[in-house]
Structure 1
Amino acid sequence: MEKNQEFTVTIEDMNEDGAGVGKLDGYIWFIKDTVIGDVVRAKAMKMKKSYGFARLMEVLEPSAGRVEPPCPVSRQCGGCQLQAMSYEEQLRFKENKVLNNLMRIGKFKRDEIKMLPIMGMENPWRYRNKAQFPFGRNKDGEIIAGFYAGRTHDIIGNDDCLLGVEENQEILGIIKGFMKENGLEPYDENAHKGLVRHVLIRKGFKTGELMVCLVVNGRTLGGRLEDGLRDSRADSLADNSADRLAGCLVEKLCQVKGMTSISYSVNMEKTNVIMGKEVVNLYGPGYITDYIGDVQYQISPLSFYQVNPVQTEKLYGTALEYADLSGNETVWDLYCGIGTISLFLAQKAKKVYGVEIIPQAIEDARRNAALNGMDNVEFFVGKAEEVLPEQYEKNQIHADVIVVDPPRKGCDTVCLDTILKMRPEKVVYVSCDSATLARDLRYLADGGYVVGKVRGCDMFPGTVHTECIVELCRK
């Protein structure tokens, strides 16, 4: 087989990234945009010794699980990987992905895994309460907003992502019109020039409150003069111009029903990180509110908050169920963010301790605890692998239940070792990556814990990602 040569192959499986897997004479091909059961014509693009990558040219015989993607840019956009797969097949794929990782990476036998049916959505569209759109120009020089194509920073224009809320389209239209009227340039990351980099949009699903935070490559929304004249008059003119522009933008955005908070984030670094560290409030309280169950949360531009509130309620409800609290327990919530799980647990626990490395998140968590009148929660700033040993060894704070919800890299081994030393009756592990989950479960199982119920929760329909929640009991 040579590069650009075409061939026919049947898709037998899918990899972690959602690419179809086919075999031809023992050689493995990865083909994006294909579905298990498809027979396709593909073109060889890149080849290694035992596997290669090919481009889908034509679906000759569609799989029974194939559907027509409703999004017109689903193939170009890097946001979704599974739109060509029916939702039932997506759920089956994700459930198998978790199970296979537990067996392959975690070395668990099939009869050791009590796998419950994955929690899917009744309507797997318009579920994201948060979206971050980069700005740029297309080939015709028009200002566009959208998402990056897979593995690139090429912007695919799309004002109405079907995973996001309908208000996104109206807000993007206002911002692009505002930029055009006032001569504000979108950011060019290659040249590190231009003002408007991204916009963050959030919506409270139960409150209807909207937040807009513009990310700008400048000190002000007007792009304060960094070079040239620097006398007081020049600065004053720049400030007046920025104030006028900010007022104009606020006036336009407030026409959108539910608009509650408008701000901008200063990010003048040459980086892939979207948000800057400084947020300047232009309108409203600087946050929006929303509920998960009966617990209210204040969400600021820098807050970590689950993007799918419908499924989050199911996920946290399951965590509470697995914790099996009677009201007398001391609970540790590691990697607690703004206290979302902590406050959920505090409804039924005697005492909850939350740990998070980001100071702003802990400020949010403490404010959210006060907002809900919960005085049985205490929060610590720091790394879980440092705070937990210190509080256990120096202050003898024990744990009846420990809940962990780590980032994709999973738990630090120091953190896992401390959990094993503390010997809580239960550990509830919430994971966004089943590969690192499998690794950590094996570590805990070897340390004296039995893996109980395992359940997936489809927080991200249309994509390859899924959350998973696991109950572990001490032997």
Structure 2
Amino acid sequence: MNNFNKNDIVEVEVIDLTHEGAGVAKIDNYPFFVENALPGEVIKMRVMKTGKNFGYGKVEEYVKESDDRVGDVNSQYLRTGIADISHLTYPAQLDFKKKQVETVLSKVAKKNDITVMDTLGTENNTGYRNKAQIPVRRVNGQTETGFFRKNSHDLVPVEDFLIQDKEIDQVVLYTRDLLRRFDIKPYHEINKTGLIRNIMVRRGHHSGEIMVTLITTKKKIFRIDQIVEALTEKFPNIVSIMQNVNESHGNALFGPDWFVLYGKEYIEDQMLGNTYQISGPSFYQVNTEMAEKLYQKAIDFADLKEDDVVIDAYSGIGSIALSVADKVKKVYGVETVESAVINAGKNAELNDIKNVDFTVGKAETTMARWLEEGIEPDVIFVDPPRKGLDEEFIKSATKTGARSIVYVSCNPSTFARDVLRFEEEGYKLQKVQPVDLFPQTHHVELVSLFTK
């Protein structure tokens, strides 16, 4: 039981980091979570809040700082979660991510015999994001772009996002200035008034092509022609300006209706030598350079042969399927989002790739159908969303008798749960490689190999 009162100040040593990058300090076995505190640091901590099992504290003073601390960090990046481990030196960030993967494998999957490789890092650990989704709100009477404070809907105005492509930051600020100039009202969540909810900007890492999407509460935008003209004059790389109308008042980013305000409805970019058309709603890895390393690692793990049949479950716009097509006999891709499948088909044509078939459907049901049709894959690639794999999917995937299953995960905990399910079905985890797709944040991706 805790005997602390709010605003008590206690001196504590920080012993660990949570998977989200908060410091952990314990007093008589009662844990406190403290933002901007690193293992090995001794701090004077103010008690902010206490519950039955844990409390929250705040650093009042650093008595002893960690050697892994980066001085002079903008606290907004920590407060909004934009870059929630930017106070940690980059080598220490890579170690932190490796340890995260080791911890869940040991706790959830009871795996202590698997060597987790060192996290694959990058020299470009800032300015890497090729996409931004920025809320627009009124703050102190003025239209601002920025980011919500963690666990709230209070907008913190931000001009330099640290992890976004620098030109994207410039486009966001210039769009904000145009909204101010033409007095276009930002969305107000409580009153459900205003027009502009979010500005989304995508920029091709290799091509430099830019798409700007205005996410609005209704179709009509006052003086939109002048906004389009000003944007395209200022940024010649803009090849697409889109509008998405989202009339709902929930947390979903997009509504169902898309309109082209200028140019075409996609940008093009390259990955591992192929060209991709990327539309507004389609999923495309936000860190192109590291996604190329991630996919290359997945291809290396698969050890593909010329006469292999490959299945790419969760195929998106085709980035894995098209990257492996020239190495194998045939690739089947499946994806639930219809627009992504149309995109993937176009991307195959664009790169003159003929041995790939893309299907709209759920991976688990499609997989079972393919089995009935006698399609026998040698290798299966899976890159599911954060919730991991469906149990039915794991059953049908392992039933195929594929020699290797290469699992790309963006959530180590659901991955660790799935490791156990694969083992029950006779597949063994061979190796795990964490990859740093999101430097300065607590997120970690990994690529792993299961064999029969």
TM-score strictly above 0.5 = yes
Match of 1:425 among 379, 387, 403: 403
Match of 2:139 in 1: 138
Match of 1:247 in 2: 225
Distance 1:72 1:129 in 2: 23
Match of 2:118 in 1: 117
Q: Give how far 1:114 is off.
A: 2.9
Distance 2:403 2:264 in 1: 42
SS of match in other structure, 2:198: strand
SS of match in other structure, 1:116: coil
For the pair 1:446 / 2:447, whether they are aligned, the reply is no
For the pair 1:104 / 2:82, whether they are aligned, the reply is no
Q: Deviations over 1:145-190 (max 9, x none)?
A: 0111111111111122110111233222322222223221000011
Matches within 5 A, 1:84-95: 84-95=87-98
Residue pair 1:71, 1:162 contacting (<8 A) in 2 also? no
Unaligned stretches of 5+ residues in structure 1: 223-244
Match of 2:47 in 1: 44
> Identity, % of aligned pairs?
36
Q: Deviations over 1:276-303 (max 9, x none)?
A: 2211101111111111110110111111
Unaligned stretches of 5+ residues in structure 2: none
Match of 2:64 in 1: 61
- Matched positions, count: 448
Residue type at the aligned position of 2:302: A
For the pair 1:25 / 2:23, whether they are aligned, the reply is no
Residue type at the aligned position of 1:309: T
Match of 1:340 in 2: 319
Residue pair 2:172, 2:201 contacting (<8 A) in 1 also? no
Residue type at the aligned position of 1:160: D
Q: Give how far 1:258 is off.
A: 1.2
Distance 2:440 2:78 in 1: 12
Q: Deviations over 1:334-385 (max 9, x none)?
A: 1111111111121212111111111111111111111111111111111111
Residue pair 1:159, 1:168 contacting (<8 A) in 2 also? no
Distance 1:72 1:103 in 2: 33
SS of match in other structure, 1:424: coil
SS of match in other structure, 2:103: helix
Match of 1:237 in 2: none
Residues 303-312 or 334-343, more deviating: 334-343
Match of 1:304 in 2: 283
Match of 2:158 in 1: 158
Match of 2:16 in 1: 13
Residue type at the aligned position of 1:8: E
Match of 2:210 in 1: 210
Match of 1:227 in 2: none
Distance 1:70 1:348 in 2: 45
Match of 1:414 among 388, 392, 397: 392
For the pair 1:220 / 2:198, whether they are aligned, the reply is no
Residue type at the aligned position of 2:139: N
Q: Deviations over 1:38-85 (max 9, x none)?
A: 111112222223321112222221111111254462233222210111
Match of 1:79 in 2: 82
Q: 1:57–1:291: structure 2 CA closer, same or farther, 3 Å change rule?
A: same
Residue pair 2:436, 2:445 contacting (<8 A) in 1 also? yes
Match of 2:442 in 1: 464
Residue pair 1:337, 1:356 contacting (<8 A) in 2 also? yes
Distance 2:287 2:49 in 1: 36
Residue type at the aligned position of 1:129: N
Distance 1:58 1:123 in 2: 32
Q: 1:205–1:69: structure 2 CA closer, same or farther, 3 Å change rule?
A: farther
Distance 2:331 2:172 in 1: 41
Residue pair 2:129, 2:287 contacting (<8 A) in 1 also? yes
TM-score when normalising by structure 1: 0.92
Residue pair 1:160, 1:168 contacting (<8 A) in 2 also? no
Residue pair 1:114, 1:453 contacting (<8 A) in 2 also? yes
Residue pair 2:432, 2:448 contacting (<8 A) in 1 also? yes
Distance 1:288 1:407 in 2: 23
TM-score when normalising by structure 2: 0.97
For the pair 1:200 / 2:200, whether they are aligned, the reply is yes
Match of 1:175 in 2: 175
Match of 1:290 in 2: 269
SS of match in other structure, 1:374: coil
Residue type at the aligned position of 1:185: K
